[in-house]
Amino acid sequence: MTLAIDPRFRRAAGWLTLSASVLTLGLTGAASAQDIQLDTVVVEGGGEAGRTDGSLSAQGGGVAGASAAGFETQGYVTQTTRSATKTDTPLVKVPQSVSVVTEEQLDDRNPQTLAEAVGYTPGVRIGAYGLDPRFDAFFIRGLPATYTGIFRDGLREFNNGFSTFDIEPYGLEGLSILKGPAAGLYGSSNAGGIVDLRSKRPTLAAAREVEGQIGSNNRYQFNFDASGPLGNSQTSFYRLTGVARDADTDYPFASDDRLSIAPAFTWTPDADTSLTVLGELQRSRSGGTFAYVNDGLNVTDVAAGDPSFNALDQTQGRLGFELERRLDETFTFRQKARLQSLDVYGEYAYAIGGPVNGIVSRGSGTVDQTLKGVVSDTQLEAKFETGPLTHTLLGGVDASLAEYTNLEGYGSAPSLVFAAPRYDTAIATPAYSVAATQDQSQVGLYLQDEIGLDRWTLTLGGRHDWVWTDTASGGPNELVDQPEQRDSEFSGRVGLSYLFDSGIAPYVSYSTAFTPNIGTDRDGNAFVPTTAEQYEAGIKYQIPGWNTLLTASVFDITQENGVFFDVNPLTGTNEQVQRGELRSRGFEFEATATLTEGLNATLAYAYTDLEIVEGTAATTGNTLSSTPKHTVSLWGDYTVQSGAAQGLGFGAGLRYLSASFGDDENTFRNDARIFIDATAHYDVPQVEGLRIQVNATNLFGEDSQICSSGFCYKEPERNVIGSVRYRF
């Protein structure tokens, strides 16, 4: 793997020079003699210093650096996340539905994938493709978010085809889910919403932990996390997080192995300046396929893959920085940028249709992809008044450069006797026969003003994006350049909210989305951009005197030319398809609360009606496959605070999904289902910092199939993980 920028990024030179100049200017200003007083500096962790949760960040006295004020949490409840507006506006005043998974929630539920981490969020659908740890496939408000809906630290993560970044939940300090279009601030993004991951950051005080895990499918994992000041410094802080895992999966021919290391460094030369550097290097190994042979409309127990030819080897890296400089009482300058790179190689066998006369025909495939690029966001915030109006004005420019390469080959594989399959014949690696390259550059200018008048908040935001896409496709030695695709679009958001003395805050909003898509269709043609608009109204309630936030919302989204991840039901191969027009309408409710000391809970309900407005003759007017109209989730965790059982805790969760259609033609249905998850943990009083914990997902072994686009998958089986953690 290399993190080098390809010379073909011809538009990068000017942007990189500008970024370097601005960073130098910011640091030069930060280092001026009149600003720095190292002997008297006291660094505060913003709102996080007062957190009451049990996370390592809280144990370390809060996060170092200016970004701490942008993510304020208490237990399961969040007061502020900068993901919503790119400012520190309290969530109750944001005129859009926002859900947050805090670090304490991650600690209690111990999710192993990003999909599991967002599984209790209203309006977020996971599991549409059953058992498959290769990709964090999920939908927000019925629309696919895997490729265009994942951001990290406020910057987009490129994803396409097999090239999707593996997210290690242990490396997260939390994550925010902004519902509906966010293009007015973030540019290219999913119309249903985005998930913004917050990487673990250095802490003010020393905090360390080591953890060992053992679980189902021969799972063995070791985690470590160390953070705090560098030596006795009051201005330099570090964090180092790592994961080593060796594991099998429910699928007989696929592993779930990982090695990950994520360093971070924060420098705070004075109370007005902060520079944080965030990095990661990770290697993951899994299976090229997790598919089983389908017999008609039923998934069977016969694996379509092969033990001698089923691998997915991925190496990824990222390196970025966040600079914040408070210039005076009015202006704050921020800049962030990240270099990211991903290499993936896969090989797999797949079933060609179902069994015919007891024989299952199979093919083989291999794929070699790279996806690398750079993303940045430079902004200036101004807080001022004009008469009775208060303003938080934010202006900025962000840019992204992405390069995608794809090589694919297809061949044959030995057939299987359906009644007694044998996997004892070697499969030859097919030669590459399909190739494509794509360079995509994007520049966006945005402006947002949050205008306050008494208890009213009016949010106005607009953005214009320019996108250039160069595509070449054909055979490995015969790439043919396609005409350059140039796109330009305006997107925005307008919202109004009112905060009553009681803590109730009704709001209305309108927002639009514009998403240029990375990748090509099966014929090698570039996708056209996806566009969307949303109307939303809701009410938030922050109960005075309680650590509680309630949100209810109704929405109406119309999306055109969305790109979906599908599996061809005839070949079992992965494909991306672009659909004409979809309309998603629904209602969502969420409650997060600390009900009493030691008791945290979440409750979520979503109604989603997703209609194919323009599709094929057989699908127009139907409901998109694998989209349940009703989903309910409930999670609660309680820890005994005193007495003989002090430190003993229990948690349990329920996830309900109503029936859905198994194909876009709506010819058959998936049954409704309920999953039960649970945890038990014990903070040993005699050994401070020692915690023993057991987590179980799908505790009662819900055994059913889930079908999407006419192809059926097995649901994940019961999974139990025991862990021992020591903090010191």
Rounded average pLDDT over 435-463: 96
- pLDDT surpassing 70 at residue 545: yes
Give the H/E segment covering residue 183.
helix 183-186
Nearest Cα to 293, choosing from 334, 232, 252? 252
Predicted confidence band at 64 (pLDDT cuts at 50, 70, 90)? confident
Q: How far apart are CA 76 and CA 104, in angstroms?
A: 6
Q: How far apart are CA 591 and CA 658, in angstroms?
A: 21
What are 379's strand-pairing partners?
Answer: 334, 396
Write out the two tokens for 600.
């945290």
pLDDT at 702: 86
pLDDT at 39: 33
Give the helix ranges, DSSP H, for 70-123: 103-109, 114-117
Q: How far apart are CA 614 and CA 595, in angstroms?
A: 46
pLDDT tens string 461-518? 999 999 999 999 998 888 998 888 898 999 999 999 999 999 999 999 999 988 876 6
pLDDT at 42: 32
State whether the Cα torsion 468-474-476-477 is positive or negative: negative
pLDDT at 440: 93
- pLDDT surpassing 80 at residue 16: no
- pLDDT surpassing 60 at residue 31: no
What are 314's strand-pairing partners?
Answer: 284, 344
pLDDT at 101: 97
Among 114-118, 528-532, 667-671, the range scoring the smallest mean pLDDT is 528-532
Q: How far apart are CA 444 and CA 187, in angstroms?
A: 7
pLDDT at 297: 92
- pLDDT surpassing 60 at residue 367: yes
pLDDT at 310: 96
Q: How far apart are CA 563 and CA 710, in angstroms?
A: 17
Give the H/E segment covering residue 20.
helix 12-30
- pLDDT surpassing 50 at residue 623: yes
Predicted confidence band at 607 (pLDDT cuts at 50, 70, 90)? very high
Percent of the chain with pLDDT over 90: 78
Tell me the domains of the chain and their CATH numbers: 12-727 (2.40.170.20)
Tally helices (H) and strands (E) across the chain. Answer: 5, 39
Which residue pairs, CB below 8 angstroms and at least 24 apart, start in 21-24? 22/335, 22/378, 23/321, 23/323, 23/335
Write out the two tokens for 393.
């004005």
Q: How far apart are CA 60 and CA 54, in angstroms?
A: 10
Predicted confidence band at 276 (pLDDT cuts at 50, 70, 90)? very high
| Cβ–Cβ < 8 Å for 219, 721 | yes
pLDDT at 516: 77
pLDDT at 173: 95
pLDDT at 617: 83
Q: Is the pTM of this model over 0.85?
A: yes
Rounded average pLDDT over 246-264: 97
pLDDT tens string 213-232? 999 999 999 999 999 999 99
Q: How far apart are CA 241 and CA 236, in angstroms?
A: 17
- One DSSP character per residue, 497-551 reads EE--TTSEEEEEEEEEEEEPPPSB-TTSPBPPPEEEEEEEEEEEE--TTSEEEEE
Which residue would you say has higher pLDDT here, 58 or 169? 169
- pLDDT surpassing 80 at residue 294: yes
Q: Tell me how many degrees the CA angle 82-85-89 measures, rounded to the nearest 5.
A: 70
pLDDT tens string 562-579? 766 555 555 555 566 676
Averaged pLDDT score across all residues of the chain:
89
Write out the two tokens for 460.
């106005």
pLDDT at 569: 53
pLDDT at 207: 95
pLDDT tens string 136-173? 899 999 998 998 899 999 999 999 889 999 999 999 99
pLDDT tens string 373-411? 999 999 999 999 999 999 999 999 999 999 999 999 999
End-to-end Cα, the chain, rounded Å: 35
Q: Report the 10 Å Cβ neighbour count for 701.
A: 11
- pLDDT surpassing 50 at residue 50: no
- pLDDT surpassing 60 at residue 37: no
| Cβ–Cβ < 8 Å for 431, 312 | no
Nearest Cα to 565, choosing from 186, 190, 119, 283? 190
Q: How far apart are CA 524 and CA 522, in angstroms?
A: 6
